[in-house]
């Protein structure tokens, strides 16, 4: 496949359309290479909020593109692959949040950014994996309705005195949840000098034996600053491509070969090009839902 030709066509069309391409760290290497901004949900949310482009091509999954649209209602936001959906976000329903609020009327609602706009509209705050602890500690209520990832709940609960009520009760990111303690122990046997650095969406047993836990951007920054030369990385394996480029001279090993997000990988250069050419697939968020969700997002951005 002629990636160079496709990348040249995308770059030319992007300039003609005054478009910006945002790519998550889990995207295919060739998609990462054509991005104007590369990062995690937090970093891309910030870039989406301040971009001057008319068109945002979001190489990520659906909730990320929705967030970009909420922050930029006047701009056209495109998701190159309609099937780029987040399975974890789909687990949380509005009814689950409403019922939790009935059971805990004094609790504020903090939802992970990995949720859809309809659910964000019911939240008091949104958070990312990088700022979840800070956001939870900033809310006034002693009890916090939090979701949809029980593994992230575990991470935050260990770092706050507040009581967290998780909705749904068993929500996980299947990609991160597949990284098992056995996987990491085997990787450590093969690479005994490597530091173990994992994402807070990994299971509790994996978090408990890690040397460091952070968002994808936090993982990159930790490895850049660390004096160690070798690392076992416990998150979606797409990040290893970026780390190899940005941190030469250090070695990075995947914690598990199974840590691949199939929906992230549905975006290809061909689909990015088609998205720019035909303006597909445009992301639409109803005005009232967007207005309410924007309040929760703005509260997060004010805190950070």
Q: pLDDT digits over 126-158, tens only?
A: 999 999 999 999 999 999 999 999 999 999 999
Q: How confident is the model at residue 285 (pLDDT cuts 50, 70, 90)?
A: very high
Q: Dump the DSSP string for the chain.
A: --HHHHHHHHHHHHHHHTEEEEEETTS-HHHHTT-SEEE-HHHHHHHHHH---SEEEEES-HHHHHHHHHH-TTSEEE-S-TT---HHHHH--HHHHHHHHHH-TT-EEEEESSS-HHHHTT-SEEE-TTTHHHHHHHSS-SEEEEES-HHHHHHHHTT-SSEEEESSTT---HHHHT--HHHHHHHHHH-TTPEEEE-TTS-HHHHHH-SEE--HHHHHHHHHH-S-SEEEEES-TTHHHHHHHHSTT-EEEES-TT---TTGGG--HHHHHHHHHHTTTBP---HHHHHHHHHHHHHHHHH-
CB 181 within 8 A of CB 206: yes
CB 88 within 8 A of CB 114: yes
pLDDT of residue 48: 79
pLDDT of residue 233: 98
Radius of gyration, alpha carbons of the chain: 19
- Backbone conformation region of residue 227, classed left if phi is above 0, alpha if psi is from -120 to 50, else beta: alpha
Q: Cα(152)–Cα(243) distance, rounded to whole angstroms? A: 23
Q: Cα(130)–Cα(186) distance, rounded to whole angstroms? A: 27
pLDDT of residue 2: 82
**Residue 41, pLDDT above cutoff 80:** no
- What percent of the chain is predicted at pLDDT more than 70? 99
Q: How confident is the model at residue 4 (pLDDT cuts 50, 70, 90)?
A: confident
Q: How confident is the model at residue 86 (pLDDT cuts 50, 70, 90)?
A: very high
**Mean pLDDT over the full length of the chain:** 95
Q: How confident is the model at residue 304 (pLDDT cuts 50, 70, 90)?
A: low
**Residue 83, pLDDT above cutoff 80:** yes
pLDDT of residue 10: 97
Q: How confident is the model at residue 117 (pLDDT cuts 50, 70, 90)?
A: very high
Q: Which domains does the chain have, with CATH numbers?
A: 3-86+264-284 (3.40.50.10800), 88-173+289-303 (3.40.50.10800), 179-254 (3.40.50.10800)
**Residue 236, pLDDT above cutoff 90:** yes
pLDDT of residue 47: 85
pLDDT of residue 303: 79
Q: Cα(287)–Cα(300) distance, rounded to whole angstroms? A: 20
**Residue 43, pLDDT above cutoff 90:** no
The residue-averaged pLDDT of 60-74 equals 93
Helical axes 239-246 vs 216-225, angle rounded to 10°: 30
CB atoms under 10 Å from CB of 265, counted, come to: 16
The residue-averaged pLDDT of 166-189 equals 97
pLDDT of residue 49: 77
pTM value is 0.94
């Amino acid at each position: 496949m002629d990636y160079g030709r496709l990348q040249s066509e995308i770059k030319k069309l992007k300039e003609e359309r005054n478009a910006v391409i945002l790519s998550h760290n889990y995207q295919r290497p060739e998609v990462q290479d054509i991005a104007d901004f590369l990062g995690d949900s937090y970093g891309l949310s910030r870039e989406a909020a301040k971009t001057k482009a008319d068109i945002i091509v979001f190489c990520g999954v659906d909730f990320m593109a929705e967030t970009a649209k909420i922050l930029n209602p006047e701009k056209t936001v495109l998701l190159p692959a309609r099937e780029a959906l987040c399975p974890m976000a789909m687990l949380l329903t509005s009814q689950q949040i409403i019922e939790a609020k009935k059971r805990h009327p004094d609790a504020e609602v903090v939802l992970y950014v990995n949720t859809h706009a309809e659910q964000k509209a019911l939240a008091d705050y949104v958070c990312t994996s990088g700022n979840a602890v800070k956001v939870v500690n900033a809310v006034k209520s002693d009890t916090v309705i939090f979701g949809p990832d029980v593994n992230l709940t575990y991470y935050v609960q260990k770092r706050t005195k507040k009581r967290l009520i998780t909705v749904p009760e068993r929500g996980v990111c299947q990609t991160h949840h597949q990284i098992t303690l056995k996987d990491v122990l085997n990787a450590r046997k093969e690479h005994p000098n490597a530091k173990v650095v994992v994402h807070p969406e990994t299971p509790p047993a994996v978090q408990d034996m890690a040397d460091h836990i952070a968002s994808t951007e936090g993982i990159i920054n930790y490895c850049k600053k660390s004096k160690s030369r070798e690392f076992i990385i416990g998150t979606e394996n797409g990040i290893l491509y970026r780390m190899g480029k940005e941190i030469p001279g250090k070695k990075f090993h995947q914690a598990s070969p199974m840590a691949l997000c199939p929906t992230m990988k549905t975006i290809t250069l061909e689909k990015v090009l088609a998205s720019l050419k035909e303006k597909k697939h445009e992301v639409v968020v109803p005005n009232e839902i967007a207005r309410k969700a924007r309040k929760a997002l703005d509260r997060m951005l004010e805190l950070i």
